Amino acid sequence: MPIISNSTYGRPPRHLFNGHLETIIPSIFRKIEGVTYKRERIATPDGDFLDLDWARNESRKLLIISHGLEGSSERHYAKGLAKLFNQHGFDALAWNNRTCSGEMNLQPIMYHHGASYDLNTVFEHAEAAGVYDEYYLAGISMGGAQTLKFLGEKGTDLNSKIKKAAVYSTPCNLTDSAATLSFKGNGFYRKRFLSKLKLKMQLKGEQFPGLVDLDLLQRVQDFDTFDTHFTAKLHGFKDAADFYQAVSADNWMKHIQIPTLIINALNDPLIHDRCYPIKLAEQSHHIFLEMPKRGGHTGFLVKGQEFTWAEMRFLEFLNS
């Protein structure tokens, strides 16, 4: 235990008949109206900044939302959670990883799946205000990995005000997740992520001349090359393999000490094999693993509903 063997997610709308459509259609077309953020910029310990987007309603409970790769607080899944939890008596804070708020960051690093240090900065800033009695963490995709790593790193030293956490579509093992981007049929995701990341790396190279090989950058067509020569180099790792292994959330997940829900759909095209931590969940008293047959990657749409099943499941788990 605790593996949740009978997931309550049934099936998506009929027109979303495979994992790719369940992933792509919400990503492109889903919109959440009625969320008005108030932005706050905070300093990081290394002289950089993070942009925080708040959706407040004078609550003493705060949901901290961590977004996915090349996402932001503006993504449908972040706004969906903010709106739903606001409606049920929570404040919400959707923070933006470095370079993800619309402005290039100041340091020669950027962000990555293991950047739990920035989540820690966000939490410490919120806690320093003395407003909240309880905190709840929510992570989506990469943000889920950052959340799990943060919780595991803290272990028994985690602030007692952090009560529960929930993540979905999360690459618990980064090596196995990164491998999916070379799978046949996943070219759409590879090209989309690479084009966005290459543009940011171009800007970073112009910001710090000589930092990266801009000629090589233009020729990169796969993630192993990109992460070896750019992500790993910027962040102090030997190569892509070293980076994936070193920052992977499952290095720390066994140390998690609060109730934590992991939802990973079995038809998610961007997670694989060790991203479903079955053995760990069987041995843990704190990790609850739910593996719906359907849902895709950050999908989980429900016909006729504004909120996804994953968002409503988060509310059920975190608010119980």
Catalytic residue numbers read: 141, 268, 297
In the structure encoding, which two tokens stand for residue 292, read together?
């719906």
Instruction: Determine the Cα–Cα distance for residues 79 and 176; give it in Å rounded to an integer.
Output: 28
Q: What is the DSSP letter of 244?
A: H
Instruction: Determine the Cα–Cα distance for residues 279 and 103; give it in Å rounded to an integer.
Output: 41
3-state DSSP percent of the chain in helix, strand and coil, to 5: 40, 15, 45
User: In Å, what is the CA distance from 287 to each residue of 132, 238, 282, 314?
Assistant: 25, 31, 9, 14
Residue 82 near residue 65 (C-beta atoms within 8 A): yes
Instruction: Determine the Cα–Cα distance for residues 53 and 243; give it in Å rounded to an integer.
Output: 29
